[in-house]
Amino acid sequence: MTKKSIIKLEKVWKTYTMGEAEVHALRGIDLDIKEGEFVAIMGPSGSGKSTAMNMVGALDIPTRGRILLDGKDISHLTESALAQVRGKKIGFIFQQFNLLPTLTAQENVMLPMIFQGIDAEERKERAAKLLKMVELGERINHKPTELSGGQQQRVAIARSLANNPEIILADEPTGNLDSKTEATVIDFLKKLHEKEKKTIVLVTHDEEVAKVADRIEHLRDGQIIRTQKNSKRS
């Protein structure tokens, strides 16, 4: 059975005006991400991968072209409408963790649920379960400064799952980690894909990290120059 498209970019351009110059960060890219896929977007600095992530994650709208989420065109939504889409459909994992230092691990994971109107008791219960899933059940009352980099990233993974999104978007999630901790975080992403059946979009410049994906989309100068299928994942 053919899997349905969950995110589709059609001839997407993103142009920024800098003084009198126009910079084309994306140049008419087409990208089709199916439900349950694990896709890596890879490219050197300046290739357009961060801009592509913004498009896939409904963080920005294109200058030209269309973005379809579950078949619905979201290319012209207002920022508040995009925020609603993101809150329900997409979970984010960032390189810098982006945890609030004054909140405990549990409170950080609870935060996205507040914006979806989930009551306090359910927020606490769900956050505790998610932290247990990422093997931090004993650390729920620790603040980010009391956790290692790898533990902070696992809190960020738990937070990305707070609203049970269909899509996890991971932006250089191992960029600030040592190789041992990187392997642990990548293993969690693989589990989310294989066991939880999440659609994962991984943005990275690291070829070894990208190898865990089903396929790699190679970007250069704002265009997809090559699609690489990974038949055997490590």
Residues 6 or more apart whose CB falls under 8 angstroms from that of 170 comprise 92, 93, 160, 189, 200, 201, 202, 203
Q: Is residue 214 part of a domain?
A: yes
Per-residue confidence (pLDDT) for residue 8, from 0 to 100:
96
Regions of the chain with pLDDT less than 50: 233-234
Phi and psi torsions of 69, nearest 5°: -115, 115
What's the whole-model pTM score?
Answer: 0.88
What single-letter DSSP state applies at residue 103?
S
Range of the domain at 162: 36-60+78-229
Integer Cα distance of 13 and 198 in angstroms: 27
Per-residue confidence (pLDDT) for residue 1, from 0 to 100:
64
Rg of the chain in Å (alpha carbons): 18
Per-residue confidence (pLDDT) for residue 165, from 0 to 100:
93
Q: Is residue 123 part of a domain?
A: yes
Q: DSSP labels for 151-167?
A: HHHHHHHHHHTTT--SE
Amino acid present at 18: M
Q: Is residue 11 part of a domain?
A: no
Q: Is residue 73 part of a domain?
A: no
Q: Is residue 18 part of a domain?
A: no
Whether 130 and 161 have beta carbons less than 8 Å apart is answered as yes
> How many independent structural domains does the chain possess?
1
Q: Angle at the Cα of 226 (from 29 to 7), degrees rounded to 5?
A: 45
Q: Is residue 31 part of a domain?
A: no
Per-residue confidence (pLDDT) for residue 185, from 0 to 100:
85
Token pair for 137: 């059940």
Per-residue confidence (pLDDT) for residue 232, from 0 to 100:
52
Per-residue confidence (pLDDT) for residue 65, from 0 to 100:
97
DSSP reduced 3-state for 62: coil
Q: Is residue 9 part of a domain?
A: no
Per-residue confidence (pLDDT) for residue 234, from 0 to 100:
45
Could you report the per-residue pLDDT of 189-227, keeping only the tens digit for each? 998 899 889 999 999 988 888 999 999 999 999 999 999
Per-residue confidence (pLDDT) for residue 87, from 0 to 100:
85
Q: Is residue 109 part of a domain?
A: yes
Task: Write the CATH number for 129.
Answer: 3.40.50.300
